Amino acid sequence: AQSVTQLDSQVPVFEEAPVELRCNYSSSVSVYLFWYVQYPNQGLQLLLKYLSGSTLVKGINGFEAEFNKSQTSFHLRKPSVHISDTAEYFCAVSGGNTPLVFGKGTRLSVIA
């Protein structure tokens, strides 16, 4: 079975500063990795996904993530955040016969 750990429950950051949201996973099979974003009072939207190939994946809104198999990590980064990036971010993993498993989320708060 897969599991996901998001190491930070809250991350405050100043506007235009860089940010990294950490995600580690565990699995006994090959995995597919996703980051979703949830804005207040909305459902989740896909930010980016890693399926295979290049370990650096780019997503919407200037976000990118790097798959690191040896460290079983899939950290999300953005070089310069905006107020509008304030939201809850979820890392998720799927693979084998199990459905998508979500981490507990990281609340990103961008401060003006």
Which residues bind to another protein, rule: CB under 8 A?
32, 34, 36, 38, 41-46, 49, 51, 88, 90, 94-96, 99-100, 102, 104-105, 107
Q: Sort strands 87-95 and 98-102 into parallel, antiparallel or unpaired.
A: antiparallel
Smallest distance from the beta carbon of 104 to another protein, in angstroms?
A: 5
Shortest separation between residue 79's beta carbon and another protein, angstroms? 24
Residue 16, both tokens: 């235009």
CB-CB contact of 24 with 92 (8 Å): no
How far, rounded to the nearest angstrom, does the alpha carbon of residue 41 sit from its chain's CA centroid? Answer: 19
Which residue, 81 or 89, has its beta carbon nearer to another protein?
A: 89
Nearer to another protein (CB atom), residue 67 or residue 90: 90
> Smallest distance from the beta carbon of 18 to another protein, in angstroms?
24
How big is the chain, counted in residues?
112
Q: Is 41 left (phi over 0), alpha (psi -120 to 50) or beta?
A: left
Q: Quote the CA–CA distance of 41 and 54 in Å, as a whole number.
A: 34
Q: How far is the CB of 69 from another protein (least distance, A)?
A: 17
Query: Of 15 and 98, which CB lies nearer to another protein in the complex structure?
Result: 98
